[in-house]
Amino acid sequence: MEPLTSPAEPAAADTAFRCDVLVVGGGPAGSTIAALLAEKGRDVVVIEKARHPRFHIGESLLPANVALFDRLGLRDRVEAIGMPKYGVEFVSPDHEHRQFIEFVEAWDKSMPYAWQVRRSELDEILFRDAAAKGARTFEGERVREVAFDGEGATVQVELDDGARRTWRARFVVDASGRDTLLANQLRCKEKNKRHNSSALYGHFTGAERLPGKLEGNITIFWFEHGWFWFIPLADGTTSIGAVCWPYYLKSRSKPLPEFFRDTIALCPELEKRLDGAKLVDERVYATGNYSYASARSSGDRYLMIGDAYAFVDPVFSSGVYLAMQSAFDGARVVEAVLDRRREAATLRRAFDRRVQRGPREFSWFIFRVTNPTMREFFMSPQNPFRVKEALVSLLAGDIYGPTPIWPSIRVLKALYYVVSIGNLGRTVRAWQRRRVNIRDVEAQPS
């Protein structure tokens, strides 16, 4: 349906633009669901607060992403900007060896690789694709408020020049990422009390990479206050980030770039690989409140997808995959609400279960990734009852398909508990440290 006035002009106070579906956010989740619905002939509007290309973190994709790019017809374009990623390298300060895991070791051998990508490039590809498929896309505009009624929603939008615009939509998809628009508005956002982390990150040139085929692998370095990522990008830069406990970030008493270098110095193996490397533009980013979820993921006229619903620690690079998968799942719900109301409730319940499942399956391992027992599992993986294959499948993102990994995942969890009990003193000390590490420093006096 056409707007009542030109989209280039602000709406009058008593006039609203109209659409079938309004998507808040033009990242991977929002652009994907917009493309899928526009292909179905829906009048879709995407409101993106920034302008593409824009910086974003989360540059490591999973093999399960590849099939989603295939379904969007974008695999060749993503491959053209990506650095092939065949696996993961783990480096622990408590072990003399490095451990390599390749995705080809997974249960399903058909997903042997993914890519490392600059998110500014990937997100723009997805955003422009949504527009090419018929979505109306707006940049430099921020959704300020959504008011629901029985027929849909009234959405208040602020343009980057301060002007205001009102939209009427039959359905709203919140893909606002960590802005969590609806979760904040509905007061249903909950910090994850079982996991609390912050991050420092920047890009370097001149970092030492792995040789040959291994060059594009992500490396995970553990250190005293958390873990580092090392993500090689196709243009020669390397993304380096420290995911650390909030108490450590709060201890900063010097400029961020200097504090970041001091943090890197706490991990000698990483420091070696950055010997002579230069921090691009002396720019370091910091973010907190890394782990949260909404108490609900949908309503009668809305969905929350991707990071707008939940975000967990990025150690397994699951963010983009979960965002895009939730968009594919959500598109079916939107179609049903608009056309097949009798099916909508059933599809919505199925969507709620699936969107909760991804963070839950990854989180069990994420909560334990710094535990000495789990670190041993990653550094010296064994394959009784095919537990290694199942774990690599999970790391590849193969959690929604028919691959029968779950009995082996349950065995792996049982082995974790058995080994933990067998090393009870170490386990108790580790969990005592964790309780201190994840404490909410924001709730404590400075």
pLDDT of residue 245: 87
Nearest CA to 200 among 282, 272, 284?
284
Domain 84-116+193-287 has CATH 3.30.9.100: yes
pTM beyond 0.75: the answer is: yes
The tally of CA atoms less than 13 A away on the side-chain side of residue 233 is 22
Rg of the chain over Cα atoms, rounded to whole angstroms, equals 22
Nearest CA to 330 among 24, 1, 18?
24
pLDDT of residue 5: 34
The tally of CA atoms less than 13 A away on the side-chain side of residue 10 is 14
Residue pair 174/25 in contact (Cβ under 8 Å)? The answer is yes
Give the Cα separation of 438 and 296 in Å (integer): 24
Nearest CA to 306 among 295, 296, 321?
321
60: DSSP letter: B
Q: Indicate the pairing of strand 44-48 with strand 17-24.
A: parallel
User: Is the backbone of residue 386 left (phi > 0), alpha (psi -120 to 50) or beta?
Assistant: left
Q: What topology is assigned to 17-57+120-191+294-362 in CATH?
A: FAD/NAD(P)-binding domain (3.50.50)
pLDDT of residue 441: 62
Give the Cα separation of 210 and 230 in Å (integer): 11
Write out the chain's pLDDT in tens, 446 residues. 333 333 444 444 446 799 999 999 999 999 999 999 999 999 999 999 999 999 999 999 999 999 999 999 999 999 999 999 999 999 999 999 999 999 999 999 999 999 999 999 999 999 999 999 999 999 999 999 999 998 899 999 999 999 999 999 999 999 999 999 999 999 999 988 777 788 999 999 999 999 999 999 999 999 999 999 999 999 999 999 999 988 898 889 999 999 999 999 999 999 999 999 999 999 999 987 668 999 999 999 999 999 999 998 888 999 999 999 999 999 999 999 999 888 899 999 999 999 999 999 999 999 899 899 999 999 999 999 999 999 999 999 999 999 999 999 999 999 999 999 999 999 898 888 877 777 766 655 44
Nearest CA to 45 among 157, 169, 160, 224?
169
Beta bridge partners of 206: none
The tally of CA atoms less than 13 A away on the side-chain side of residue 427 is 12
The tally of CA atoms less than 13 A away on the side-chain side of residue 363 is 18
pLDDT of residue 340: 81
Q: Domain boundaries in the chain?
A: 17-57+120-191+294-362, 84-116+193-287, 363-443
pLDDT of residue 246: 84
pLDDT of residue 395: 96
